[in-house]
């Protein structure tokens, strides 16, 4: 019988692809990530299906784009009809475990925890342990664990309520509340402990049946706002912050102005502030990278790495002032949706020490992991990322959907309604990649066209220069939206499906044979 590999699914929350040395960044921010990338299949053009945590994770966990899984708001719940990756692996015999530092995945009741025997959440006052299968506490520990469960359940319900209520969410952004949930509630979690706990499971395998493979999902929040890197990393990447009181004051204000993490800037960010944000973000990247190095070195020295499929990616990136944007509330620009992705596959389906240049969607990690685990059906195997560009089922056509978070839109509209109107922040943004171009559509307001090869920072809008390319990509977007948003129940009912050109697009998108 073939031995199935353990699987580590590691999400570096809010990790920009262009701040990793292996992806061309000029500073040595990520030597440990780079070393792993050099021994893996490294994807140069991986695209997140969404621009923020919940829909992006839902896509990776189901293999579907956001308009299909519909889990696009903080109050959304994943449809019961869509099995998650953890559910499929659990039902296939895997011990499924999660070590999560993001409360939007580990606390909010949105269905992303489905299928895990063990789900440890590191954001909040306590580490919660729902569905902790295989662990039997001794008598002296039972009362303590009961107390933790009760208190943790109360905190979980409280945090879930804040995510679902505009009034409570607005209250959580007040000067009184921000210091509380940033510190007392450990908003960014505990990277070191979550990695240590994951190592303990993968190496010691307590509570895991003999010969049972392990699926370990890990979410790290090291590069997410607020920025509080250790001093030694600040000295390396942002020494000006230590030497300049004005810079220190700006950083303190930035870290506590949570509204500013979502709202667009009034104008172009000045060079001094941009340098501050870049520096402290790089420091956070380097600090987390050091912790990743310790994790993978321990895994390698134990021998566990060679029997483990390792997937490392980001759920999305981060704006640091580019295009007058901060954070990842609403944009389909590359700063958010172009993400790092590497896969170290012991089965050999994805060859080590190789790079892949074709554009791929992170939603296909669902099918890729199931295929490696021997649990994919025929249609799912067709979408594994192990396929070459020549047999790519997406035919090089990839989408991203930046659907507006209603809570964020309401928050900005309350303070600056004209900003919402001017920037169409309440409109969906969708992007499509095909051949050498990328088209962004902003509701019915406007479209933008960029060259992926010549203009990766998306500075020159080619909309008026290449109208035929715009029209072609708009047609693919219309077909995609119509087919996936329930307007057409099947490909034959797409408007104009009897037109040869429409049928060609349907075939290109995989909706027709």
Four-residue CA torsion sign, 205, 210, 211, 215? negative
Residues 70 and 58: their CA atoms lie apart, in Å, by 9
**Mean pLDDT along residues 16-40:** 98
Residue 202 has pLDDT above 70, yes or no: yes
Strands (DSSP E) contained in 54-171 are 95-100, 118-121
Taking CA atoms, 344 is separated from 3, 28, 150, 221, 446, in Å, by 17, 22, 39, 22, 40
Residues 137 and 148: their CA atoms lie apart, in Å, by 13
Residues 380 and 83: their CA atoms lie apart, in Å, by 13
Tens of pLDDT, residues 121-131: 888 665 444 33
Residue 157 has pLDDT above 90, yes or no: no
Taking CA atoms, 59 is separated from 62, 313, 401, 408, in Å, by 5, 13, 11, 21
User: Angle at which helices 467-484 and 500-508 pack, to 10 degrees?
Assistant: 70
CA neighbor of 442 nearest in space, from 411, 420, 459, 460: 420
* Per-residue pLDDT at 503: 65
CA neighbor of 362 nearest in space, from 315, 408, 321: 315
Structure tokens at 383: 């979408």
* Per-residue pLDDT at 139: 35
**Mean pLDDT along residues 452-480:** 95
Tens of pLDDT, residues 441-458: 999 889 999 999 999 999
Structure tokens at 374: 């021997």
Whether the Cβ atoms of residue 477 and residue 462 lie closer than 8 Å to each other: no
Residue 57 has pLDDT above 80, yes or no: yes
Question: How is the chain split into domains, by residue range?
Answer: 6-387
Tens of pLDDT, residues 333-385: 999 999 999 999 998 899 999 999 999 999 999 999 999 999 999 999 999 99
pLDDT band of residue 170 (cuts 50, 70, 90) is: low
Whether the Cβ atoms of residue 324 and residue 330 lie closer than 8 Å to each other: no
The pLDDT > 90 percentage for the chain reads: 70
**Mean pLDDT along residues 7-33:** 98
Residue 200 has pLDDT above 50, yes or no: yes
Whether the Cβ atoms of residue 226 and residue 185 lie closer than 8 Å to each other: no
Residues 61 and 102: their CA atoms lie apart, in Å, by 15
Residue 63 has pLDDT above 70, yes or no: yes
Helical H segments across 109-190, by residue range: 139-164, 166-172, 178-179
Structure tokens at 424: 């169409």
CA neighbor of 334 nearest in space, from 45, 27, 28: 45
Taking CA atoms, 118 is separated from 90, 130, 145, 147, 205, in Å, by 11, 6, 15, 18, 13
**Mean pLDDT along residues 90-96:** 97
Taking CA atoms, 124 is separated from 115, 151, 226, in Å, by 22, 11, 16
**Mean pLDDT along residues 68-83:** 93
| Residues composing the chain | 513
pLDDT band of residue 78 (cuts 50, 70, 90) is: very high
Residues 466 and 468: their CA atoms lie apart, in Å, by 6
Residues 94 and 92: their CA atoms lie apart, in Å, by 6
pLDDT band of residue 208 (cuts 50, 70, 90) is: very high
Four-residue CA torsion sign, 283, 36, 387, 489? negative
* Per-residue pLDDT at 436: 92
Our CA angle for 86, 92, 95, nearest 5°, is: 60
The DSSP symbol for 492 reads G
Tens of pLDDT, residues 255-301: 988 888 888 998 999 999 999 999 999 999 999 999 999 999 999 99
CA neighbor of 205 nearest in space, from 299, 86, 310, 106: 299
Structure tokens at 336: 């958010």
Structure tokens at 210: 């003999």
How many CA atoms lie within 13 Å of 445's alpha carbon, on the beta-carbon side? 14
**Mean pLDDT along residues 401-417:** 89
Higher pLDDT, 278 or 137: 278
* Per-residue pLDDT at 249: 97
Residues 6 or more apart in contact with residue 102 via CB below 8 angstroms: 13, 53, 123, 189, 219, 221, 224
* Beta bridge partner(s), residue 319: 327
* Per-residue pLDDT at 490: 55
Q: Mean pLDDT for the chain? A: 87
User: Angle at which helices 271-302 and 245-256 pack, to 10 degrees?
Assistant: 70
Architecture per CATH, domain 6-387, reads as 3-Layer(aba) Sandwich (3.40)
- Model-wide pTM > 0.85: yes
């Amino acid at each position: 019988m073939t031995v199935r590999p353990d699987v580590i699914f590691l999400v570096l929350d809010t990790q920009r692809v262009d701040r990793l040395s292996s992806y061309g960044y000029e500073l040595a921010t990520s030597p440990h990530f780079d070393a792993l990338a050099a021994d893996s299949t490294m994807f140069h053009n991986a695209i997140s299906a969404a621009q923020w945590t919940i829909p992006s994770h839902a896509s990776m966990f189901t293999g579907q784009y956001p308009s299909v899984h519909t889990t696009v708001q903080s109050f959304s719940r994943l449809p019961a009809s869509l099995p998650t990756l953890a559910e499929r692996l659990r039902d296939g015999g895997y011990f499924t475990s999660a070590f999560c530092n993001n409360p939007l995945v580990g606390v909010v009741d949105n269905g992303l925890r489905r299928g895990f025997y063990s789900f440890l959440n590191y954001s909040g006052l306590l580490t919660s342990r729902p569905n902790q299968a295989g662990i039997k506490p001794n008598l002296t520990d039972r009362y303590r664990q009961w107390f933790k469960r009760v208190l943790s359940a109360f905190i979980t319900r409280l945090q879930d309520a804040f995510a679902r209520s505009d009034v409570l969410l607005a209250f959580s952004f007040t000067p009184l509340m921000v210091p509380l949930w940033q510190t007392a509630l450990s908003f960014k979690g505990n990277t070191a402990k979550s990695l240590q706990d994951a190592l303990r499971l993968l190496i010691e395998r307590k509570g895991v049946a003999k010969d049972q493979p392990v699926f370990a999902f890990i979410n790290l929040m090291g590069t997410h706002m607020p920025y509080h890197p250790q001093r030694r990393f600040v000295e390396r990447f942002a020494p000006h912050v230590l030497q300049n009181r004005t810079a220190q004051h700006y950083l303190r204000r930035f870290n506590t102005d949570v509204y500013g993490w979502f709202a667009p800037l009034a104008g172009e960010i000045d060079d001094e502030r941009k340098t501050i944000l870049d520096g402290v973000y790089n420091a956070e990247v380097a600090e987390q990278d050091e912790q990743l190095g310790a994790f993978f070195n321990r895994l390698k020295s134990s021998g566990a790495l060679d029997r483990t499929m390792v997937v490392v990616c980001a759920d999305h990136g981060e704006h640091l002032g580019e295009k007058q944007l901060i954070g990842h509330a609403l944009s389909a620009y590359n700063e958010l949706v172009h993400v790092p992705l590497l896969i170290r596959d012991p089965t050999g389906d994805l060859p080590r020490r190789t790079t892949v240049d074709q554009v791929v969607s992170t939603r296909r990690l669902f099918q890729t992991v199931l295929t490696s685990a021997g649990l994919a059906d025929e249609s799912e195997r067709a979408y594994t990322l192990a396929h070459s560009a020549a047999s790519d089922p997406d035919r090089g056509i990839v989408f991203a959907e930046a659907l507006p978070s209603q809570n964020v839109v309401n928050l900005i509209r309350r303070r600056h309604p004209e900003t919402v109107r001017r920037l169409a922040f309440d409109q969906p943004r969708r992007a499509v990649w095909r051949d050498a171009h990328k088209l962004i559509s902003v509701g019915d307001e406007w479209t933008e066209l960029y060259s992926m090869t010549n203009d990766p920072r998306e500075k020159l809008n080619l909309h008026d220069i290449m109208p035929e390319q715009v029209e072609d990509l708009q047609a693919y977007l219309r077909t995609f939206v119509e087919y996936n948003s329930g307007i057409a129940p099947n490909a034959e009912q797409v408007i104009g499906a009897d037109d040869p050109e429409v049928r060609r697009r349907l075939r290109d998108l995989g909706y027709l044979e």
